[in-house]
Amino acid sequence: GAVVSQHPSRVICKSGTSVKIECRSLDFQATTMFWYRQFPKKSLMLMATSNEGSKATYEQGVEKDKFLINHASLTLSTLTVTSAHPEDSSFYICSAHGLAGAGLDTQYFGPGTRLTVL
Amino acid sequence: DAKTTQPPSMDCAEGRAANLPCNHSTISGNEYVYWYRQIHSQGPQYIIHGLKNNETNEMASLIITEDRKSSTLILPHATLRDTAVYYCIVRVAGAAGNKLTFGGGTRVLVKP
């Protein structure tokens, strides 16, 4: 149980285009999802916290107009990287927080999406 | 959330127990200790968490000192597939919005 999927697993795009990444909790509902970014040989950095039906909360230094987050349902959150540039190339990882009452009081992570912007 | 300190790297032998230390001397009474690991190019995987009692599951054991200022994750019989970066994180449980703050972790290399 507690499986989180991401799609696509890797994407290559041209500079200036937008890329959408989907994060789904497959077998549990998640009122809160998180988006992280990870550069090579570095630790995960939290970008934003997303709550179902409300606006995401972004970490300091993360541009909300560049990284659009939508959390439309209890099982789906999307991250759109708008007008992507080479410096946005990174490994993007989402997580979904389970319900404490179901014994899932922690974050479960997706497999990650590797974005390469040419 | 309290900060944690972990050794940057360690090697262990396949088939032997791997003991991963973590210091969290400023942990608060309502903060849990969580362990995750990240295998190369994958998302982190939840391993175990605890408050003050020792915990065990199918993956590992968590030993928390009585003063809760440090803990040890034990992989009882390390395999090559356990090679990963292991993160020790403390956070308040029970609130979905509570963030996980990832430090540098311990890079564990299991050798044949």
For B33-68, write each residue's pLDDT tens digit: 999 999 998 999 999 999 999 999 999 999 999 999
Question: Does pLDDT of A100 surpass 60?
Answer: no
Residue B93 has a pLDDT of 72
Question: Does pLDDT of A81 surpass 90?
Answer: yes
Residue A74 · residue A29 · CB < 8 Å = yes
Given an 8 Å threshold on Cβ–Cβ distance, is B41 in contact with A112? Answer: yes
Residue A30 has a pLDDT of 85
Average pLDDT value over all residues in chain B: 93
Residue B84 has a pLDDT of 97
Sign of CA dihedral B14, B16, B17, B23: negative
Cβ neighbourhood burial of A22 (10 Å; 0-12, 13-18, 19+): middle
Chain B residues interacting with chain A (CB cutoff of 8 angstroms): 34, 36, 38, 41-46, 49, 87, 93-94, 96-97, 99-105
Given an 8 Å threshold on Cβ–Cβ distance, is A112 in contact with B43? Answer: yes
Residue B97 has a pLDDT of 67
Backbone phi, then psi, for B80, in 5-degree steps? -60, -30
Residue A95 · residue A109 · CB < 8 Å = yes
Question: Does pLDDT of A82 surpass 80?
Answer: yes
Hey, what are A56's tokens?
A: 């995401």
As a whole-number percent, the residues of chain A with pLDDT over 90 amount to 72
Residue A53 has a pLDDT of 81
User: Mean of the pLDDT values across residues A86-100?
Assistant: 89
Hey, what are A72's tokens?
A: 């439309």
For B1-16, write each residue's pLDDT tens digit: 668 999 999 999 999 9
For A11-44, write each residue's pLDDT tens digit: 999 999 999 999 999 988 887 899 999 999 899 9
Quick one: which of A35, A40, A48, A112 has its CA closest to B43?
A112
Chain A closest-CA separation from residue B91 CA (Å): 10
What is the rounded distance in angstroms from the CA atom of residue B29 to the CA atom of residue A68?
A: 36
Given an 8 Å threshold on Cβ–Cβ distance, is A109 in contact with B44? Answer: yes
Neighbouring C-beta atoms of residue A10, cutoff 10 Å = 11
Residue A31 has a pLDDT of 79
CB within 8 Å of chain B, chain A residues 20-79: 30-32, 34, 36, 43-46, 49, 51
Q: Is A4 on the interface with B (CB under 8 A)?
A: yes
Question: Does pLDDT of B86 surpass 60?
Answer: yes
| For A50, nearest residue in chain B (alpha carbons) | B97
